Amino acid sequence: MIGLRGDTWLYIGLGCGLASIAAALGYYRWVVRQDAGSDKAQEIASWIKGGASTYLKKLYSALFGVAIVVGIILAIVFSGGVAGDASYPLRGLWTALAFAFGALCSTLAGYLGMSIAVQANVRTAANCKASLGQGFNVAYKAGAVMGLAMVGVAVFGMSLLYLIFHDTEIVLGFSFGASSLALLAKAGGGIYTKTADIAADLTGKVEIGIPEDDPRNPAVIADNVGDNVGDVAGMGADIFDSYVAAAVASMMLGASYASTIGVQYVILPLILCILGIVSSLIGIQFVRVGPNGKPGRALNSGTIISCIIFSAMGAILFGVANAVSGEVVLNWGVLIATVAGLVIGVIIGFTTDYFTNDEHAPVQQVAKVSASGTGLNIITGFSYGLVSMVPALIGIVAAILVAYFATQAFGLPGVYGIGISAVGMLSLTGVIVSNDAYGPIVDNAKGIAEMSHMSEDVIADADKLDSAGNTAKAITKGFSISAAALTVLAMYSAYSEVIMKYSGASNFILDIQDPLVLGGIFLGTFVPPLFSAITMLAVTRNAFTMIEEIRRQVKERPGILQGTELPDYNACVGIASTGALRSLVLPAFLAVILPLIVGFVMGPKALGGFLGGSIFIGVALALLMSNAGGLWDNAKKYIEAGNLGGPGSEAHKAAVVGDTVGDPFKDTAGPSINTLITVMSLVSSLFAPLIAQFHLFG
């Protein structure tokens, strides 16, 4: 049995989580000890670091307040246990604490990643002076800090809570805490980064006529801070939340079937996470770039190697467990579901790359039509964005069907397989996030290299590192959206199980033809679009405020443009921070309160439909926005690389507009949608016991 039915693996989880955190801290120490370059470069980096701290301080104090309020609500609502399940006198308190712990873990992982990112950027630039490989190494190790810290904290947290309570519904509180924080961090970061980006571009390049990343622009530091808060802290929090939610949903499904299929399936998701951590730790060692090496290939090789190691370890685990115990304790169908999830995730990641990489037709086509006008650039890019949904959606369907029917064919409930395939897809989060966090670090490194006037060679090297980062980012997005889709589907089944448990019904059917389900679906379909619109409109509104501040500074203090006086960077950082946080109120309402209103008024079936509707449209919209955004960005870069007339041509002007449109698509709205649907699913599952017992209709 190799401890599958006891607490052994939970202790291993604690240890493995701590080991991963230790490895992250080790890399952290290594990175900060690297050469930080010239005084000028360090000064610029210190501004970025300062700006990032300002934002994080504001964000976390606001979130701290929110967490306390939500925690108190949870503690009260669930106090004395739910009616019919009064076994826990302190259930409310434990749920609240688990929520706070989840929020804290998510914060910690994001903070650590951000903190290393703002130190690694200048060091990457400085080390590019020595060699491309050395620069790469610094950036990648810094990325690995984020990746390893995240999975370490997540596995440690889940193992600890389950070890204490042996109740998956408490672990659900942890997941809800992590996801709520992730949603706010991601959406807030997304609004922040594009506010600063658009304001800096529109005033700098257009009005004042100074180049991008020029230190005379008061918004330039806010812009660089934005890359970190949006991409590093935001994306990190995003995958953290899917990772935890996938494991928790599968654990809940395992728990609801435990009496018939065995308790080992409750902790199997955690075991798979542990294998994933080990595979990631090994895979990361293989990511190296020689003097003439290709950074993109190095990143991909890490993913592929980890993937192979993980699959092998999974097969060995299942084989050994079954051999030792002389019976099938770990169902082979589940292994198929796991590996199918992982492999399909990788395939989806790479097909996403097809639509956003300038080596293929879509980007080139968009660049080509740009010469005939901005309108065609937008229409064509948007159309390819729509087409880009197709492979990912087919992949998701393949994962659903393989996972379900493989698990069912081997005698286990198929829905458990869907949950496990999400866990499989996300098992290599350690590596995936490392690759992803690398992106904004090298992006910033390039900015610093330019701002501090480093040599041409260094800038060229930084540029090479940067373009590999874009591909890694595209792959991660395809990956994270698909994984979120499978995760919320598993969470969906978990929701049904909870409803059945507390309503006493023997089945819970969500028939599309049922008017309440159907009504719920149609209501659900407007949530992700409305959420996207609110965040994007917040960007344009906040950018306007910042533009006014920039104009004021430039007008009142002429020394700024002459380069004799430093602009007040903090004013812009402050506008972006405050604006982003204020803009989060409505999105948070949509994510948390609206599902509860639908549930308590229209009943559990309507809420089931509502979640379904938001998932169906959310996945499609997230794919569209992320891919179209990446495509526009790379079409611009393709022209800037000298194609179709190069910089300054009519094609370039059109492509710049396309990029401006794509920015909030891919960095504000698109990537938050995953987290939105995860939070909606989590809050529904968490409140399902109450909804099952009280609702007006349905």
Tell which positions 361-380 bind its own copies, by CB under 8 A.
Answer: 369, 372-376, 378-380
Closest separation in Å from C-beta 394 to its own copies: 7
Helix (H, G, I), strand (E, B) or coil at 85: strand
Choose the stretch contacting its own copies; rule: CB under 8 A; options: 338-346, 391-399, 446-454, 671-679: 391-399
Nearer Cβ to its own copies, position 464 or 636? 636
Q: Say whether residue 420 binds its own copies (CB under 8 A).
A: no
CA distance 631 to 358: 8
CA distance 193 to 576: 8
Nearer Cβ to its own copies, position 98 or 617? 617
Q: Say whether residue 661 binds its own copies (CB under 8 A).
A: yes
Closest separation in Å from C-beta 535 to its own copies: 9
Closest separation in Å from C-beta 563 to its own copies: 26
Any idea what DSSP says for residue 455? -
Closest separation in Å from C-beta 344 to its own copies: 13
Q: Are 456 and 367 in contact (CB under 8 A)?
A: no
Q: Say whether residue 536 binds its own copies (CB under 8 A).
A: yes
**Beta-carbon neighbour count of residue 359 at 10 Å?**
11
CB proximity list for 149: less than 8 A, separation 6 or greater: 20, 21, 24, 25, 108, 109, 112, 113
Q: Say whether residue 660 binds its own copies (CB under 8 A).
A: yes
What is the total count of residues that contact its own copies (CB under 8 A)?
74
Q: Are 153 and 79 in contact (CB under 8 A)?
A: no
Q: Are 416 and 334 in contact (CB under 8 A)?
A: yes
Q: Say whether residue 489 binds its own copies (CB under 8 A).
A: yes
Nearer Cβ to its own copies, position 17 or 613? 613
**Residues 266-305: x/- map of binding to its own copies (CB under 8 A)?**
----------------------------------------
Binding residue for its own copies, selected from 14, 108, 394, 596, defined by CB under 8 A:
394
Nearer Cβ to its own copies, position 66 or 371? 371
Q: Say whether residue 515 binds its own copies (CB under 8 A).
A: yes
Binding residue for its own copies, selected from 150, 517, 581, 692, defined by CB under 8 A:
517
**Residues 447-486: x/- map of binding to its own copies (CB under 8 A)?**
--------------------------------------x-
CA distance 168 to 251: 6
Choose the stretch contacting its own copies; rule: CB under 8 A; options: 304-312, 385-393, 465-473, 675-683: 385-393
Alpha helices in 4-131 (DSSP H): 8-32, 39-77, 91-128
CA geometry: angle at 112 spanning 110 and 114, to 5°? 65
Q: Say whether residue 521 binds its own copies (CB under 8 A).
A: yes
Helix (H, G, I), strand (E, B) or coil at 514: coil
Length of the chain in terms of residues written: 698
CA distance 584 to 532: 12
Q: Say whether residue 589 binds its own copies (CB under 8 A).
A: no
Q: Are 10 and 162 in contact (CB under 8 A)?
A: yes
Choose the stretch contacting its own copies; rule: CB under 8 A; options: 209-217, 306-314, 340-348, 492-500: 492-500
CA distance 629 to 658: 8
**Per CB under 8 A, which of residues 149..208 are in contact with its own copies?**
198, 202, 206
Binding residue for its own copies, selected from 12, 62, 518, 588, defined by CB under 8 A:
518
Closest separation in Å from C-beta 470 to its own copies: 20
Closest separation in Å from C-beta 527 to its own copies: 9
Q: Say whether residue 107 binds its own copies (CB under 8 A).
A: no
CA distance 245 to 674: 11
CA distance 106 to 19: 18
Binding residue for its own copies, selected from 93, 282, 393, 690, defined by CB under 8 A:
393
Nearer Cβ to its own copies, position 285 or 372? 372
Binding residue for its own copies, selected from 510, 573, 607, 679, defined by CB under 8 A:
510
Q: What is the DSSP string of 33-68?
A: TS----HHHHHHHHHHHHHHHHHHHHHHHHHHHHHH
CA geometry: angle at 627 spanning 376 and 205, to 5°? 60
**Per CB under 8 A, which of residues 600..619 are in contact with its own copies?**
608-609, 612-613, 616-617, 619
Closest separation in Å from C-beta 391 to its own copies: 9
Q: Say whether residue 664 binds its own copies (CB under 8 A).
A: yes
Closest separation in Å from C-beta 380 to its own copies: 6
Closest separation in Å from C-beta 214 to its own copies: 19
Which pair of structure tokens corresponds to residue 597?
């209103």
Q: Are 666 and 193 in contact (CB under 8 A)?
A: no
Q: Say whether residue 519 binds its own copies (CB under 8 A).
A: yes
- Could you tell me how far CA 440 lies from the centroid of its own chain? 14
Sign of CA dihedral 505, 511, 513, 517: positive
